[in-house]
Structure 1
Amino acid sequence: MQISIELSLYPLAETQYKSEIWAFIKRLRKVEGLDVVTNGMSTQVFGDYDLAVTNVMAEIKHVHSTVGAAVFVCKFISGHHAQPEPES
């Protein structure tokens, strides 16, 4: 079973918030079997249900344990709903 997850991370700590967001994204991109797409508003993760959910939740826990206060806005939908690349 496939899943699509859309995430937005809002660190509330007084740290360099952009570096925390990019570190979160880079860790997810290292997971073999996940497709991770970013845009100016969110990060989208596509892949096997168990693989995606397990790794996303582990990364959320990592952020909360290292950064402290952070808000995540998440959407989960079954299936692989990535937008196709526009044709040239």
Structure 2
Amino acid sequence: MHITAEISYYPLVDGYDQPVFELLELLEEHPQLRVEPGTMSTLIAGEYDAVMLLLSQSMKTLMANYPSVFNLKIANACEVK
């Protein structure tokens, strides 16, 4: 099943740009997924298992290093074109 996820990341630290760049690097490492960074959120599209694994691993990595808030939307009816 193909899904699209929208993720917004709010690191609760001074110098918040560094953790945001770390998230983008983690997301863009996956060649099988489509990643479209935006101003306030990033879209990730691909097969369900691959998207969910990438989200889980990326969020866990950042939460281990920074106090974090993530906002996610996941749909199987809103395809990124």
Structure 2: stretches of 5+ with no match in the other structure: none
1:77 aligns with 2:78: no
> 1:80 deviation in Å?
5.8
User: Following the alignment from structure 1 to structure 2, what is the Cα–Cα distance between the partners of residues 34 and 79?
Assistant: 17
TM-score relative to the length of structure 2: 0.92
User: Following the alignment from structure 2 to structure 1, what is the Cα–Cα distance between the partners of residues 26 and 12?
Assistant: 20
Aligned amino acid, residue 28 of structure 1? L
> 1:79 deviation in Å?
4.7
TM-score relative to the length of structure 1: 0.85
CA-atom RMSD, angstroms? 1.2
Runs of 4 or more, structure 1, over 2 Å off, are: none
Matching of residues 1-88 of structure 1 within 5 Å: 1-14=1-14, 16-67=15-66, 69-79=67-77, 81-82=79-80, 84=81
Structure ID, larger Rg: 1
